[in-house]
Amino acid sequence: MRFPWWPATVAISGSFNPATTAQTDALASIGAWNLANFQRSVNSTCTLKNAVVRREWDTFSGPERKAYTDAVLCLMAAPSITDPAIAPGAKTRYDDFVAVHMNQTLTIHGTANFLAWHRYFTYTYEQALINECGYKGAQPYWNWARSALDPIHSPVFDGSEYSMSGNGEYEAHNCTNALPSGLNCIPPGEGGGCVTTGPFRNMTVNLGPVYPTLAEPEVVPASSLLAYNPRCLKRDISVWVSSNYTTDAIIADLITQNLDIVSFQNTMQGDFPAGIYGVHSGGHYTIGGDPGGDLFTSPGDPAFFLHHAQIDRTWWIWQNQDLANRLMAFGGTITLNNSPPSRNGTLNDTIDLGINAGAIPIRDIMNTMAGPLCYIYV
């Protein structure tokens, strides 16, 4: 059965040859059916008829893509509203989102709140695009599997005016040692330098890096966590990462083989001691570069939000496989990989995005059809 809000076709651009997404698409369809049945028993002002529909970037028309990137550029042109005493390097409204992620990095990764925090973060960013920059659409997502074998030529990164800009200019560099375990150093790609194509070719990155991984001598940590450090956006798009860690089969296995939330989110984030990136790190290091390859400052690359919309979509598909047991499934501690050892997180813990959005209980973010949220993925 096809729902009226489910896309019938996906656009293909240029010479790009998309890889299969068949397994993930099947799981998404099953999940959509389960969600439709579940919603019949729920009394909510958010329904499948009025929910915002988040779509894959590839399905956007050229004008729709440009409307999105124009809104992002609008945020980058607007002045920061963060107190300079808190984040002296935040110069734009876009930087306000980068700064709050940097400031909370060690309590929002490898933690119970990882998925919920980034869900609310991406939603709040989407609302800023709409309410502050007049964007009329929804947050798009980057379907990693479609571009896993050819990310550079994908509609996300092909460098056209309707992309999220392309790869960086080539600069010679050694392999990128992205994992703290020192295993699986990423072979140097065709980029490494400044991005010179597409909507973000003139972008200035103001914050970070904090934990840079791009193997170039000039990519060094900023003088302090939130210091002002203006520079160009750099990328080193890696087919080695994408083809090894973000394929359809890997995403489908993540959803079907991890039946509890702790194993699901841990597998998603990767097994660093074993040298395994997982789809979360896999997406980040497919982009690579500076700041995309920095755990702290990664939102400084605007492709971050398409990546994390796909993270959220993957969680959403997982939840929809068994809504009765998974919708409010929550587990893990409140420190990065439980170091130092800490208490378990709870649904009553809060997410606070500072100047971007006030504190909200995690339980209000677990369901994309309840609380302040009202959206689905197709």
Tokens standing for residue 125:
């960013």
The upper half-sphere exposure of residue 21, i.e. CA atoms within 13 Å in the direction of its Cβ, equals 19
Q: What is the pLDDT of residue 13?
A: 53
Q: Residue 73: which residues within 8 A CB-CB, separation 6 or more? A: 199, 200
Helix (H) or strand (E) holding 192: strand 192-195
The whole-angstrom separation of Cα 76 and Cα 199 is 12
Tokens standing for residue 226:
């939130």
The whole-angstrom separation of Cα 264 and Cα 4 is 30
CB 318 within 8 Å of CB 326: yes
With both helix axes pointing from N to C terminus, report the angle between 62-77 and 114-133 in degrees, rounded to the nearest 10: 90
Q: What is the pLDDT of residue 287?
A: 98
Tokens standing for residue 141:
């997502």
Q: What is the pTM of this model?
A: 0.96
Can you list the residues of the chain whose pLDDT is less than 70?
1-14
Q: Residue 50: which residues within 8 A CB-CB, separation 6 or more? A: 374
SS3 169: strand
- Please name the fold of domain 47-377: di-copper center containing domain from catechol oxidase (1.10.1280)
Tokens standing for residue 330:
């929550």
The whole-angstrom separation of Cα 78 and Cα 84 is 15
SS3 333: strand
SS3 52: strand
Helix (H) or strand (E) holding 323: helix 323-326
The whole-angstrom separation of Cα 124 and Cα 49 is 22
Which residues on adjacent β-strands are paired with residue 176?
A: 186
Alpha-carbon distances, residue 377 vs 31, 150, 154, 312, 368 (angstroms):
10, 24, 20, 9, 10
What is the pairing mode between strands 192-195 and 168-170? antiparallel
Which residues on adjacent β-strands are paired with residue 291?
A: 234
The upper half-sphere exposure of residue 220, i.e. CA atoms within 13 Å in the direction of its Cβ, equals 3
